[in-house]
Amino acid sequence: MNRAEQTSAPSLSGGCAMELGVLVYRLYRALTYSASPFLHLHMRWRRLRGLEHSRRWPERFGHPSAVRPPGYLVWFHAVSLGEGMAAIPVIRRCNEMKPEMTILMTTTTVSAFEVIKKQLPVGVLHQFAPLDTPVAIDRFLGYWKPNAIVIMENELWPNLIMSASQLRIPLALLNARMSTKSFKRWSSPLLLPLASLLLSKFSLIAPLSTLQGIHYQLLQAPPFVINFSGDLKYVVNKFYVSSGTSESIRDLKAELSDMKVWIASSLHRGEEEGVHNLLLQSHPDSVVIIVPRHPHHGHQIAQKLRNDGQSVALRSRNEKLTSKKTNIYVVDTLGELREFYGVAPIAVIGGSFFPELTGHNVSEAAAAGCAVITGCHVGHFSHMVKAMQQENPLSITQVSSELELKEAVELLMSNPEILEARRRASKEVYESLSSCIISNVWNLLNLHIFRGK
């Protein structure tokens, strides 16, 4: 973002801004209250489509499905899988430091729940997050009575924040980030007073980068609540609980042992095209493992590649790499990406090759010791890419075209020494950047939120 964008948030006098923020919030509250019947119908429709849990969907309206234990309870809220996995290391540290504390975690998506439930420590409760309507939020807070609330990344829900503040519940925003688009929206004359009002209710805001900290300052968050701790997505792999590499992945790794393998992960529509065909001309024994961002796109990708004359194996169907004829393996399952990073020495991280995309977490591949390649459109993860490059330029390679991507992968396939140097660099940089983050976060939470309790 340029300097003009960074300073684009208009300013209002404190009292005027606060009054306008309260007015905008009252309007929001009235609208969400009025929309509640329609949201109920919408959630029923989502349930029929399989987008909400078939039995637990009433939790989205604040109806509990578990008993609240007595004592101190902290509510961790994360919307989707990425935010949820970033919260897991913090939850584990809280369990270690305060075992008497009850932790309640909420997520929004069913797909996130299916993966995260295997990672939660014993005793941690899970519910689906309530919608941000007055009735749902009041019902949820009235039943669970959290003593503190920790929100992950970028969730500024007015009814949740204002209701928690009225009940004097301390609020924390961890790994706080805001896209350029969201920042511009919250900076508008109508929403800036609301943003200022909401951010004033937090006791702790921990941005994941300096630029993000500037965003929150320009949105008039109190300077004394902004504290830096590091990006939690670096440490997800350190605390990831694996059930062990599956037999099928071990078999696949053995099957690929004599072949040149690379993985293209978190791909969005259109990113799967082109490069592997070019590589086959110089490396006919090469295999690419394609992991789409959304698993349900895997079948469509496989069908399109087959129509183009490619031989493709689909993981969900347990299809095998038959002799050396199949050179594309599509992983259309959820929660296995970390295991597949252990299969391929070269990782190309998608969501970064088209201007409208904003990148994905490159540290997971680095943690597995892959040589990491990504595109130029890394958005949310630009701070991570920059930090890795500053630590060691060999740790991550950025490319700006299909030809550059082909040349980068081919260089690594053709030069074992260069490949090994890049793999070692990415692993060492990951270890360096991920150290101390959890301790920093715990200290901030204990000081500003738990307050030594």
Q: What are phi and psi of 102, to 5 degrees?
A: -90, 135
Are 104 and 36 spatial neighbours (Cβ–Cβ below 8 Å)?
Answer: no
245: exposed, middle or buried (C-beta count within 10 Å: 0-12, 13-18, 19+)? middle
Q: Which of 19, 52, 59, 83 is catalytic?
A: 83
For residue 2, the SS3 value is: coil
Q: Is 57 left (phi over 0), alpha (psi -120 to 50) or beta?
A: alpha
* Strand 328-330 relative to strand 312-314, pairing: parallel
Can you read off the two tokens belonging to residue 24?
């905008």
Residue with tokens 């350029």: 180
Other C-beta atoms within 10 Å of 333: how many? Answer: 14
Residue with tokens 């997505």: 233
Q: What are phi and psi of 371, to 5 degrees?
A: -75, 125
Q: How far apart are CA 298 and CA 331, in angstroms?
A: 7
Residue with tokens 């399109």: 304
Q: How far apart are CA 416 and CA 412, in angstroms?
A: 7
83 is catalytic: yes
Active site residues per annotation: 83
